[in-house]
A and B are shown apart, each in its own frame.
Chain A
Amino acid sequence: MDQKRSTLNLFDNIDLATELRLGLPGTDDQPEIKISISGNKRSSSEIGSSTCKDEEESSFSPPAKEQVVGWPPVRSYRKNILQVKKTELETGSGMYVKVSMDGAPYLRKLDLKMYKSYEELMKGLQEMFKCIIGLYSEREGYNGSQHALTYEDKDGDWMLVGDVPWEMFISSCKRLRIMKSCEARGLGDFL
Chain B
Amino acid sequence: MGFPEEVLEHVFSFITSHTDRNVVSLVCKSWYEIERWCRRRIFVGNCYAVSPAMMIRRFPEVRSVELKGKPHFADFNLVPDGWGGYFYPWICEMARAYPWLEEIKLKRMVVTDDNLELISKSFKNFKVLVLSSCEGFSTHGLAAIAANCRNLRELDLRESEVEDLSGHWLSHFPDSCTSLQSLNMSCLSSEVSFSALQRLIARSPNLKTLRLNRAVPLEKLSTLLRRAPQLVELGTGAYSAEIRPDVYANLTEAFSRCKEVKGLSGFWDVLPSYLPAIYSVCSRLTSLNLSYATIQSPDVTKIITQCPNLQSLSVLDYIEDTGLNALSLSCKDLRELRVFPSDPFVANANVSLTEQGLVAVSEGCSKLQSVLYFCRQMSNSALTTIAKNRPNLTCFRLCILEPRAPDYLTFEPLDVGFGAIVEHCKQLQRLSLSGLLTDRVFEYIGKWAKKLEMLSIAFAGDSDLGLHHVLSGCDSLRKLEIRDCPFGDKALLANVSKLETMRSLWMSSCSVSLGACKRLSQKMPRLNVEVIDEQGDLDSRPDNCHVEKLYIYRTVAGPRFDMPSFIRTMDQNPTYRS
Contacts and interface: CB of A to CB of B under 8 A. Distances in A.
Contacts of A165: 243, 273
Interface stretch (B47-55, B72-80, B447-455): B72-80
Contact of A40 (B187, B340, B346): B346
B345 interface: yes
A191 interface: no
Interface in B164-217: 187
Output the residue of A71, A82, A167 with the most chain B CB within 10 A: A71
Interface string A75-95: 111110110011000000000
A64 interface: yes
A61 B350 contact: yes
8 contacts: A62-B348, A69-B77, A70-B73, A71-B403, A73-B75, A74-B374, A77-B159, A167-B272
A105 interface: no
Interface string B355-376: 0000000000000000000100
- Please classify the interface of chain A as helix (H, G, I), strand (E, B), loop, or mixed, using the class held by over half of its residues: loop
Contacts of A62: 346-348
B174 to A, nearest CB: 31
List the 9 closest A-B pairs by CB distance, nearest first.
Answer: A70-B76, A70-B78, A73-B76, A72-B344, A62-B347, A64-B345, A61-B348, A75-B75, A72-B401
Nearest to A71: B403
Given A73-B76, A167-B273, A64 B341 contact: no
Nearest to B372: A73
A164 B207 CA distance: 39
Interface string B287-311: 0000110101000000000000000
Interface string B380-423: 00000000000000000001011100000000000000000000
Given A40-B345, A65-B346, 20 more contacts: A61-B346, A61-B348, A61-B350, A62-B347, A64-B345, A64-B346, A64-B347, A70-B73, A71-B76, A72-B399, A73-B432, A73-B458, A75-B75, A78-B292, A79-B344, A81-B268, A82-B342, A82-B343, A116-B296, A165-B243
Nearest to B291: A78
A77 B134 CA distance: 12
A39 B243 contact: no
B75 to A, nearest CB: 5
Contacts of A71: 76, 403, 458
Nearest to A83: B345
Contacts of B346: 40-41, 61-62, 64-65
A168 interface: yes
B187 A74 contact: no
Interface in B449-483: 456, 458, 483
A72 B432 CA distance: 12
A56 B432 CA distance: 39
Interface residues of B, number: 37
A71 B459 CA distance: 10
B515 to A, nearest CB: 26
B271 interface: yes
Contacts of B483: 70
Contacts of B187: 77
A74 B159 contact: no
Interface in A17-68: 39-41, 61-65, 67-68
A29 to B, nearest CB: 26
A63 B341 contact: no
Interface in B258-274: 268-269, 271-273
Contacts of B271: 167
Interface string B331-355: 0000000001111111110100000
B184 to A, nearest CB: 14
A70 B340 contact: no
Output the residue of A40, A62, A75 with the most chain B CB within 10 A: A75
B75 A63 contact: no
Contact of B294 (A40, A41, A85): A85
B292 A81 contact: yes
Nearest to B342: A82
Contacts of B374: 72, 74
B22 to A, nearest CB: 31
Interface string B69-93: 0000101111000000000000000
A168 B241 CA distance: 10
Contacts of B273: 165, 167
B77 A168 contact: no
A75 B159 contact: yes
A82 to B, nearest CB: 6
B345 A39 contact: yes
B77 A76 contact: yes
Contact of B340 (A67, A78, A86, A168): A78
A32 B173 CA distance: 58
Interface in A94-150: 116
A40 B294 CA distance: 18
A81 B269 CA distance: 10
A111 B399 CA distance: 34
Interface in B269-291: 269, 271-273, 291
A64 B348 CA distance: 8
A72 B340 CA distance: 11
A67 B346 CA distance: 10
Given A65-B347, A81-B268, A165-B273, A74 B76 contact: yes
A89 to B, nearest CB: 8
A61 B349 CA distance: 9
B302 to A, nearest CB: 15
A79 B161 CA distance: 14
Nearest to B240: A167
